[in-house]
């Protein structure tokens, strides 16, 4: 749990209203929706809260949240990886995440229904669904009943990049709040608080997405990887293949594609960029289809070589 930037802190006032059972927080990927949701959970459970103030950060509830295991907070998100460690083919939050009796494969440690049957340890149970557009219909319908009559006054926070992709009945029963990017100045101040001095490149890449502040080191290495691959692809065939091999195990589908596109935007012509984009899409599709990853990366770097005229 990090401190929110002032412009996101302002949003807390809306979300502190006791009467609301459910909120849809919408905004771009990694704009800071999850951090905001955790602050809301803190707000509703903090022992030393005064109106309009921030969670104290030192009471048992705040400390539990900081440690990442609060007994009253359940976080639900589409699985990123399957049990075998491969990238999940299709993002979905199934009904087995909501009701234990539907979880035949024992995929979920906790289920929303059972979680809400128990009284809160502190004040209010909070269910955060990060990626609410990925709830399938059964899961959404199961949640709908809980949203209408939340046991023990529980609070639901649905985080989404695209409200229109959510099941409309859930949206209509929730308050709505848009989460915008923070300003560059706020982003800079936040990264400095964490002991990083952000470069102008990092600032440009982040574009105010507060969620990226938790991954500063990863972003820096993804940008470095992207640059290395793009440069090495233009050298000999052997170094290019080696660079592809080096990238494969560290490739983060949530960061590297964007880092590559960011580097290409600075270094390639529009025509080359379009082609390179297509090669990258083919790589992503191959990985999602469980193709041989080593081979997929080789094909990608060979395509890149051709595009760059190497």
Binding site for Zn ion (CB under 5 A): 46, 55-56, 59, 62
What's the CA dihedral at 209, 215, 219, 222 to 10 degrees?
-130
Nearest distance in Å: CB 57, Zn ion: 6
Nearest distance in Å: CB 28, Zn ion: 29
Nearest distance in Å: CB 144, Zn ion: 31
Cα Rg of the chain (Å, integer): 22
DSSP category for residue 87: B
Q: Quick one: 5 or 46, whose CB is closer to Zn ion? A: 46
Q: Give the C-alpha separation, 130 to 25, whole Å.
A: 9
Q: Quick one: 56 or 99, whose CB is closer to Zn ion? A: 56
Q: Quick one: 13 or 254, whose CB is closer to Zn ion? A: 13
Nearest distance in Å: CB 15, Zn ion: 16
Nearest distance in Å: CB 39, Zn ion: 11
Beta strands in 231-302 (DSSP E): none
Q: Which residues lie below 8 Å from residue 93, measured CB to CB, with a gap of 6+?
A: 76, 77, 78, 129, 131, 134, 135, 136, 139
Q: Which of 126, 167, 132, 170 is nearest to 148 (CA)?
A: 170
Nearest distance in Å: CB 50, Zn ion: 11
Beta strands in the chain (DSSP E): 22-26, 73-76, 126-130, 155-160, 175-178
Two tokens, residue 239: 């170094």
Q: Give the C-alpha separation, 257 to 249, whole Å.
A: 14
């Amino acid at each position: 749990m990090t401190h929110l930037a002032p412009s996101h802190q302002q949003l807390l006032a809306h979300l502190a209203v006791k009467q609301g059972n459910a909120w849809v927080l919408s905004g771009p990927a990694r704009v800071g929706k999850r951090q905001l949701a955790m602050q809301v959970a803190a707000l509703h459970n903090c022992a030393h809260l005064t109106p309009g103030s921030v969670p104290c950060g030192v009471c048992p509830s705040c400390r539990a949240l900081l440690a990442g295991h609060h007994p009253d907070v359940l976080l639900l998100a589409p699985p990123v990886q399957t049990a075998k460690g491969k990238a999940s083919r299709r993002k979905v939050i199934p009904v087995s995440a909501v009701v234990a009796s539907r979880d035949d494969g024992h995929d979920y440690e906790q289920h929303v229904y059972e979680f809400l049957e128990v009284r809160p340890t502190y004040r209010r149970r909070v269910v955060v669904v990060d990626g609410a557009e990925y709830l399938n219909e059964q899961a959404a319908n199961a949640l709908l009943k809980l949203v209408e009559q939340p046991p023990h006054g529980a609070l639901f926070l649905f985080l989404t990049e695209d409200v229109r992709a959510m099941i409309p009945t859930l949206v209509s029963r929730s308050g709505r709040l848009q989460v915008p990017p923070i300003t560059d100045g706020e982003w800079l101040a936040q990264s400095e608080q964490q002991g990083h001095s952000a470069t102008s490149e990092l600032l440009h890449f982040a574009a105010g997405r507060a969620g990226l502040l938790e991954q500063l080191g990863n972003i820096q290495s993804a940008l470095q990887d992207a640059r290395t691959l793009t440069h090495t692809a233009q050298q000999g065939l052997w170094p290019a293949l080696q660079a592809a091999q080096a990238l494969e195990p560290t490739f983060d589908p949530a960061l590297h594609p964007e880092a590559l596109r960011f580097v290409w935007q600075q270094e390639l012509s529009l025509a080359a960029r379009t082609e390179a984009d297509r090669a990258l899409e083919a790589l992503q599709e191959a990985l999602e289809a469980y193709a041989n990853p080593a081979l997929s990366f080789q094909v990608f770097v060979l395509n890149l070589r051709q595009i760059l005229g190497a």
